[in-house]
Structure 1
Amino acid sequence: MTTTEDEFQVLVGVFASRGNKVLEIEIIPSSHGAPFLQDGLSIGVTKKALASALVVARRLFFTRLLPMSEDDLYADVIKREPETTSASNHIITEIMLLFDCEHLTACNWRKRWLQAAIMHCERNFLDEMFNKELSLLQTYQCSPLHRHTKSPTLWSHRLWVLNAMVGLQKPAPPALGKLGRAELDIVLRAGELHPKNYYAFTYMRNLHLFLVDVAKAHGTPVPSSIAEAMLEPTLNWCLSNPRDISGWMFEKYLLEYCPDLSTRAGIVRRVLRFALDVRWEGESLWTFIDQTTKRFDLEQIVEEALKRAPAQMESDSPQDRQKPWQKRLDRARAYWTMPGGPEHSQQPV
């Protein structure tokens, strides 16, 4: 029979052997018969075993970690003993955040721990620490866990880490674009795991603004390339997840930073073509079409696509009033039912 200490040590071993790899952690039912399962980088742990490990981690955190001074934190950063020999301090907080992603005190301890390294350690050592911290956060944010994919605490911590990392490395504008693109992949994965992930896309907006400010500091006159690199992958994701309003609003946000009119028009045409071809009736997509055409003066694109369908007459009766996106959808429905339209191709989605 396993004890709380045994279950704690199993998780210590998992995180200690992680290195810089991204794990996929999932809470498994007790009916599997074992509290832990592992297949390569895929980890399964029961809620009961995780709660038992938390009991030990929490006790160690408040007795050992919380009283640490800045000198203690620095000494902890630079010690070179193998992590598998004991429960390293940073692994204690990793287990706590696995159980409770909103444990702000544990997250702030990690900021203090990283800050101690920033103040005293050399560049190569810091790069390694930053990469391990980002891969840890990706483990949380891209695993099928209930709350981690949309945790404001974890997304805020990730932004803090990247802010510190970019401040030290001072990458050139091309590298900033690659960084933004890599972070977008993580956000889109989190968006798949938790639909309408407001916190993930808000993080991406904040990161984009930060990268734009850094690019301007390098003297780049119009750092629109950072947003342009994200347009196509975000659009592909939105067309694969057309019900997700958070994704569509992030795509609209990116268009604000892409001044090229042909790029904006091409995006709207592609979305409208998709909606008409598959007869999509969902609110999120049509809201995107309505707002982007109005914001960027692209009404002519919709008129050209739906020119055979009559515009709806305005009504003064409250029960007949519609939201703007619904009026556009009504025109699309009229287009589908007109002679030569795609009414026989497939049913509305």
Structure 2
Amino acid sequence: MTIPDDAFQQLASVFASRGNEILEIEIIPPSPGSPFLQDGCSIGITKKLLVQAYTVARKLFFKRLMPMTGDDLFANLPNNSQSHGIISDLVTTEIMLLFDCEHLTACNWRKRRLVAALARRHDAPDRRSQLIQILKTELTLLQSYQCSPLHRHTKSPTLWSHRLWVLKQLLKLEDQSPETLLALERAELAVVLRAAELHPKNYYAFTYMRQLHALLAMIPVETKDPSSLAVLFANKLVDPVLDWCLANPRDISGWSFGIYLLSHVPERQLQVDAVGRVLRFARDVGWEGESLWTFVDQAVRQFDLESVVEDTILYDKEGHEPVPTVAEPSSTKWPWRARLARARAYWAVYGSSHDL
């Protein structure tokens, strides 16, 4: 067996035995030791070994997988066969996507495989439960890519688009209730926030979350709550998103998603509490970063919350005497700077906990 074949078999065995587990994959630097490390679901692989495995996977893909018909793709499902060859066919695209997350041909082959299965969902009584399990396994594979410290996978538009497509198919098969949909959105939010931690300012991850929120809100389900699902879900997600934003205050994509959620919340008190919480954080730690103050400025303007700013940083600690304003040129291009100027005036008088 050649070195590339051996590299392919090592990775293929990992993906084939994964089941529904979520892997954490990391590219490790070359060293005199082993180019492949595994500790449970944690995988370390050198770039050289991954390239070698990819060359074999790509050759197999265009030779064996691309010519497959719909019947061939259906027979490729692991529930229908456990032969070594069939499993190798499946993991071939998984290795290709590990090397190149924007490999549209490999990603579309996986879609074709799932479509072939969905087209036969009425053929057997237990087909529906099998399909649900297959789709969930696809989601855990994507999570293995998107929540691992890989250079491009956390922000791959191809992978996020594929994840949304898989979820759409899953929602068509499962019986839904507001509780299960909320649990699903919270689980997906956890994936998005983890990906955003690994790759700051992850526009693609938060765009996926907006699309998912809109998708779940349109699903017809019975609920006793007169509020729409969009409002219900937004109410439940505001606090965890703000927690994440305050832990990552430089991330403008997170703050923008926070504005999106607040725009779906009709309860003014929740908007007041959210903006007040952010203002108190900035006031107490002396935070001057643009992303946070842009969120404050946009939220105040969009939801008419000027009184929250006044109560938090425009008056003294007793809420009576106005804090003197620091002279700073007004700017129509950077309106958030006017908010920051008020905060600086407060810090000039009272300081911040960061200074103590």
Deviation at 1:297, TM superposition (A): 0.6
**Contact kept in structure 2, 1:61 and 1:92, CA below 8 Å:** yes
Deviation at 1:81, TM superposition (A): 3.8
Q: Which amino acid aligns with 2:351?
A: P
- TM (norm. structure 2) is 0.91
2:203 — aligned with what?
198
> Which runs of structure 2 are paired with 1:190-339 in the superposition (5 Å)?
190-215=195-220, 221-223=227-229, 224-305=231-312, 306-307=314-315, 308-311=322-325, 323-338=334-349
Distance change (3 Å), C-alpha of 1:108 and 1:334: same
Deviation at 1:215, TM superposition (A): 4.4
**Contact kept in structure 2, 1:102 and 1:153, CA below 8 Å:** yes
Corresponding position: 1:157 with 2:168 = no
**Contact kept in structure 1, 2:288 and 2:340, CA below 8 Å:** yes
Distance change (3 Å), C-alpha of 1:315 and 1:57: closer
Aligned residues with identical type, % of pairs: 56
RMSD: 2.1
Give the unaligned 5+ runs of structure 2.
122-126, 316-321
1:28 — aligned with what?
28
Find the residue that maps to 1:281 and give its secondary structure: coil
Query: 1:346 pairs with 345, 351, 354, which one?
Result: 354
- TM (norm. structure 1) is 0.93
**Contact kept in structure 1, 2:70 and 2:116, CA below 8 Å:** yes
2:318 — aligned with what?
none
**Contact kept in structure 2, 1:137 and 1:154, CA below 8 Å:** yes
1:61 — aligned with what?
61
Tell me how far apart the structure 2 counterparts of residues 180 and 78 of structure 1 sit (CA, whole Å).
28
Tell me how far apart the structure 1 counterparts of residues 109 and 347 of structure 2 sit (CA, whole Å).
58
Give the unaligned 5+ runs of structure 1.
none
Tell me how far apart the structure 1 counterparts of residues 344 and 105 of structure 2 sit (CA, whole Å).
53
Distance change (3 Å), C-alpha of 1:79 and 1:289: closer
Structure 1 segments of 4 or more deviating over 6 A? 216-220
Tell me how far apart the structure 2 counterparts of residues 217 and 52 of structure 1 sit (CA, whole Å).
52
Q: Which amino acid aligns with 1:34?
A: S
Find the residue that maps to 2:43 and give its secondary structure: strand
Deviation at 1:32, TM superposition (A): 5.1
1:131 — aligned with what?
136
Deviation at 1:117, TM superposition (A): 1.0
Find the residue that maps to 1:56 and give its secondary structure: helix
**Contact kept in structure 2, 1:148 and 1:154, CA below 8 Å:** yes
Tell me how far apart the structure 2 counterparts of residues 61 and 244 of structure 1 sit (CA, whole Å).
39
Deviation at 1:311, TM superposition (A): 4.3
* Cα deviation digits, residues 216-245 of structure 1 (max 9, x gap): 798965221111121111110000000000
Tell me how far apart the structure 1 counterparts of residues 119 and 223 of structure 2 sit (CA, whole Å).
24
